[in-house]
Structure 1
Amino acid sequence: MNKFLTEFKERGFFYQCTGEENLSKLMDKQKINAYIGFDCTAESLHVGSLLQIMCLRLLQKHGHRPIVLLGGGTTRIGDPSGKDRTRTILSEDEIEKNINNIEKILKTFLDDTDSKTKPIFVNNFTWLKSLNYISFLRDIGKHFTINKMLSFDSVKTRLEREQSLSYMEFNYMILQAYDFLELNKKENCVLQIGGSDQWGNIVNGVDLIKRHSNKQAYGLTTPLITLASGAKMGKTESGAVWLDEKFLSSYDYWQFWRNIDDRDVLKFLKIFTDLNVDEIEKIKNNNINELKILLANKATEMLHGEQNAKNSEETAKQTFTDNSVGDNLPSISINEKELKAKINIIDLIILSKLENSKSEIRRLIKGNGVKINNQIIGNEKLIVTKDLFIDDLIKLSLGKKRHIKVKLN
Structure 2
Amino acid sequence: MNIIDELEWRDAINQQTDAEGLRELTNSKAVSLYCGVDPTGDSMHIGHLIPFMVLRRFQLAGHRPVILIGGATGTIGDPSGRQSERSLQTLEQVQENVDALTAQMKKLFISDDDANQVRLVNNYDWTKDINVIEFLRDFGKNFSINTMLAKDVVSSRLDSGISFTEFSYQILQSIDYLHLYKHEDVQLQIGGSDQWGNITSGLDLIRKKEGNEAKAFGLTIPLMLKADGTKFGKTAGGAVWLDPKKTTPYEFYQFWANTDDRDVVKYLKYFTFLSKEEIEALAAKVESEPHKREAQKALAEEMTRFVHGEELLEQAKRITAALFSGDIRSLTADEIEEGFKEMPTFTATNETKNIVEWLVDLGIEPSKRQAREDITKGAISINGERVNELEVDITAEHAIGGKFIIVRKGKKNYSLVKLV
TM-score, L = length of structure 1: 0.83
Matched, 1:212 2:209: yes
Following superposition, the deviation at residue 190 of structure 1 comes to 0.6
Matched, 1:301 2:280: no
- Report matched runs for 1:338-357 at 5 Å: 344=363
Matched, 1:69 2:68: yes
- The number of equivalent residue pairs is 372
Give the direction of change, closer, same or farther, for the CA distance of 1:98–1:397 in structure 2 (3 Å limit): farther
Matched, 1:230 2:241: no
Give the direction of change, closer, same or farther, for the CA distance of 1:204–1:338 in structure 2 (3 Å limit): farther
Between 330-339 and 106-115, report the one with greater CA deviation. Answer: 330-339
Following superposition, the deviation at residue 121 of structure 1 comes to 0.7
Aligned partner of 2:171: which letter? I
Equivalent residues of 1:196, 1:222 under 8 A apart: yes
SS in 2 for 1:193: strand
Aligned partner of 1:7: which letter? E
Equivalent residues of 2:346, 2:362 under 8 A apart: no
Give the direction of change, closer, same or farther, for the CA distance of 1:338–1:80 in structure 2 (3 Å limit): farther
> Unmatched 5+ residue regions in structure 1?
347-370, 376-384
Match of 1:394 in 2: 405
Following superposition, the deviation at residue 310 of structure 1 comes to 2.5
Equivalent residues of 1:234, 1:240 under 8 A apart: yes
Give the direction of change, closer, same or farther, for the CA distance of 1:45–1:17 in structure 2 (3 Å limit): same
Q: Distance in 1 between matches of 2:409 and 2:181?
A: 52
SS in 2 for 1:140: helix
Q: Distance in 2 between matches of 1:65 and 1:216?
A: 16
Match of 1:364 in 2: none
SS in 2 for 1:316: helix
Match of 1:366 in 2: none
Matched, 1:45 2:44: yes
- Report matched runs for 1:111-260 at 5 Å: 111-113=110-112, 117-159=116-158, 162-214=159-211, 215-260=214-259
Following superposition, the deviation at residue 217 of structure 1 comes to 0.6
Between 182-191 and 316-325, report the one with greater CA deviation. Answer: 316-325
> Unmatched 5+ residue regions in structure 2?
352-357, 366-379, 385-392
Between 147-156 and 167-176, report the one with greater CA deviation. Answer: 147-156
Aligned partner of 2:144: which letter? T
Cα deviation 1:95-148 (Å, max 9, x = unaligned): 111111112222222143267511111111111111121122112112211111
Cα deviation 1:198-252 (Å, max 9, x = unaligned): 0011011111101111222100000011222222222110111000111111111
Between 116-125 and 394-403, report the one with greater CA deviation. Answer: 394-403
Q: Distance in 2 between matches of 1:399 and 1:121?
A: 52
Following superposition, the deviation at residue 278 of structure 1 comes to 2.0
Structure of greater Rg: 2
Give the direction of change, closer, same or farther, for the CA distance of 1:143–1:259 in structure 2 (3 Å limit): same
Q: Distance in 2 between matches of 1:407 and 1:46?
A: 30
Q: Distance in 1 between matches of 2:82 and 2:35?
A: 20
Cα deviation 1:60-88 (Å, max 9, x = unaligned): 10111111100110111100010111111
Match of 1:88 in 2: 87
Q: Distance in 2 between matches of 1:74 and 1:387?
A: 57
Q: Distance in 2 between matches of 1:209 and 1:116?
A: 29
Cα deviation 1:272-296 (Å, max 9, x = unaligned): 1110022211232223312111110
SS in 1 for 2:284: coil
Equivalent residues of 1:319, 1:325 under 8 A apart: no
Between 179-188 and 307-316, report the one with greater CA deviation. Answer: 307-316
